[in-house]
Chain A
Amino acid sequence: MTVDFALIGHQESWQAAADVLAILRGAPLPDDEIKDILPWIPPRAICHVEVGSSTGATAHGLYIDSFIPPDHLEAAYVQENTARVRAAAACAINLGAKIVSLGGFSSILIEGNFDQLPERKGTVFTTGNTLTVGLIVQGIKKMCTLEGRNLRRSTLLVVGATGDVGSGCARCLAPFVKRVQINARNEARLRKLAAELQADGVQVEIATGLEGFSTEADVVICAASLASPSLLLGRIARDAIICDAGYPKNLSPNAHMADAKIFFGGLGQIVGTLKFAPNFDGILNRHPFPRVVHGCLLEGMALALEKRFEPFSRGRGFITPDRVEEIEGIAAHHGIHLAPFYNADGPLEDCIAAAASFDSVNPGRGTVSNTRTQCQNTILLLNATDARSRENG
């Protein structure tokens, strides 16, 4: 079978990892066994993926899990995780994938180190960051509209601004806001980005610590996971719009930020079809809406549907508004759009409204009732998972 695309990913939580293994095993593994087993699994394809475009085209691919243990998603494990991503990449190459999207932490590990990927034999890699940036920017604009905010009067804070996604977001949104605050740990890179933005006439502030900024930021993009969500407390406007685009996402609405509007960003929804074999639906895409996928993975799917097998996003710091517009156009052509909003508490948009919106571009497919059931099931599943997480401390 032709492998148009491969998606390299990993699980963000032990519960997600347990669910993946349960599908393969046909029964759940005891909790105490999962942490003993998963770290030993070599990266490999675990399922076939078929994506259907709204044009009627289809592309076939594979989901390759690097099996990075969920508690190793941090800097201390960079070498081990990079080795896993390299092995997953080698797997994609051996399986003859034409284009490979690097999902989640894989993208972060490799974006500045494409030379660390194995020899390619006709396979191209994309970090998928350009479409991720496009979806984050779309999300900010849409949320501002929904909340009646004038983006042009806003101060934008980008946390993790020197990464590929963070810098791309800063470039794309800077022309639309009053002022930009950029934050990252590397001051030299911050100054370089600031100079680039200032050359276009943007007012820029830089700081390696959030305490270095005034508290006027009312639009915030967290392109990097915060060490602690409480770091934002008292550092931004009380009613700020916050896009959690970090990996893993760790911002949730709480009593201390009751007026803030937090949503998970960088996610897209496929209008057409998304099928997994074996059926990992709801396991590999754990979102409260159907056919929602991370932008980084969607980029590879969109390029495969377009038959543009090219390393669209590679390296760090090359994402420009023009490139974002180009990939958004390709994605939209195949029915890949901004996902409905949600955060850790669940959907921010009415499921039924989202389904109705879906139906408006897919007349006659009768999805409202299906989507309602799927939303309800997913929300129940999320609630059950949260409850179990709380029980496990």
Chain B
Amino acid sequence: MGTLIGLNCSTVECTSLTAPIWQDILAQAVTGELMAAMNYASLSEICKDPAEVADALEHAQIERGHAARFAAEGRKIGVAVPNNVDAMHWKRLREAFLRCVAERDFIGCLIVQEIMLESFAVASYARVGKVAPGTLGTTFASIAAEEEEHVDHAMAILQAERALDAQRFDDKLHRLHIEVMTTLAKMLAKECKDGHCEVCHATCVKPALFDVSLSAAELRGASLQKYLKTLDALGLPGETTLAWVTQLPI
């Protein structure tokens, strides 16, 4: 029964007015997943343990699978889903990750991908999953759950690393926070102040999000909340991390 209602809803709601909105949301998701796949592939190059190499490559494959599933959801509602990993903000995020790779900084790579980018993905996919119609919604929700598992996997490694030298770990995280979260905050801001993001197919999708029961403020809030909770779980002082987050661009 639930599936039937979902499919009807999908057909009715996504073919006319809201399809271009879902198209842009999917484009951001596909771009993010492809970039994650590239990041894991790059990470595999600096892993020392063969098991870690295999793990990173498997993650890369999983992220490509996510991108394919999102693209398939686009086809179901009759839109082609573009992607652009060289788009302004995504490119900066990729460059930040590649700097960690160049420094053979495995922990830095995990912080960028698993703590920062995945917090953004898990929280925003979960919000989209709640309101998107039909299989579009269930796909976002199920990929959010899978991404959450990735984070759990990395948390154990990062917690062990922090236990060795908390101050050094926190300093590194803060440096990466300034580099990566500043870019993510600009992407999540209520208005794109740096011009077109180069992923949306026409004008910026953010003002139209209200038409699909979403808002840029909600996606930003949920993402930063997830990030703060992840940092809490790592053991960073809450007052420090809140100060970091409040200092991000708005």
Which residues of A pack against B, CB within 8 Å?
21, 24-26, 29-30, 33, 36-37, 39-42, 44-47, 91, 278
A278 CA / B243 CA spacing, docked (Å): 11
Contact indicator B246/A40 (Cβ below 8 Å):
no
Which residues of B pack against A, CB within 8 Å?
190, 217, 220-222, 224-225, 228-229, 232, 237-239, 241-243, 246-247, 250
A47 CA / B250 CA spacing, docked (Å): 23
**What's the minimum C-beta distance from A70 to chain B, rounded to whole angstroms?**
16
- Residue from A29, A39, A42, A91 in contact with B246 in the complex, judged by beta carbons closer than 8 Å: A29
Contact indicator A45/B239 (Cβ below 8 Å):
yes
Q: Which residues of A contact B238 (CB under 8 A)?
A: 42, 44-46, 91
- Residue from B221, B225, B232, B246 in contact with A25 in the complex, judged by beta carbons closer than 8 Å: B246
**B220, B237, B247, B250 pick with most chain A CB within 10 angstroms:** B250
Q: Which residues of A contact B228 (CB under 8 A)?
A: 41-42, 44
A44 CA / B221 CA spacing, docked (Å): 16
Q: Please judge, given known A-B contacts A36-B190, A40-B222, A40-B224, whether A25 and B247 are in contact too, CB under 8 Å.
A: yes
Q: Which residues of A contact B237 (CB under 8 A)?
A: 45
Q: Please judge, given known A-B contacts A25-B246, A42-B232, whether A37 and B239 are in contact too, CB under 8 Å.
A: no
A44 CA / B242 CA spacing, docked (Å): 8
Nearest first, the 8 closest Cβ-Cβ pairs linking A and B are A44-B238, A40-B221, A36-B217, A25-B246, A40-B225, A24-B243, A24-B246, A45-B239
Chain B: which residue is nearest A48 at the CB level? B239
27 A–B contacts from the bound complex (CB under 8 Å):
A21-B246, A24-B239, A24-B243, A24-B246, A24-B247, A25-B246, A25-B247, A26-B247, A36-B190, A36-B220, A37-B221, A37-B246, A37-B250, A40-B221, A40-B224, A40-B225, A41-B228, A42-B229, A42-B232, A42-B238, A44-B232, A44-B238, A44-B242, A45-B237, A45-B239, A47-B239, A91-B238
Q: Which residues of A contact B243 (CB under 8 A)?
A: 24-25
Q: Which residues of A contact B247 (CB under 8 A)?
A: 24-26
- Residue from B217, B220, B225, B250 in contact with A42 in the complex, judged by beta carbons closer than 8 Å: B225
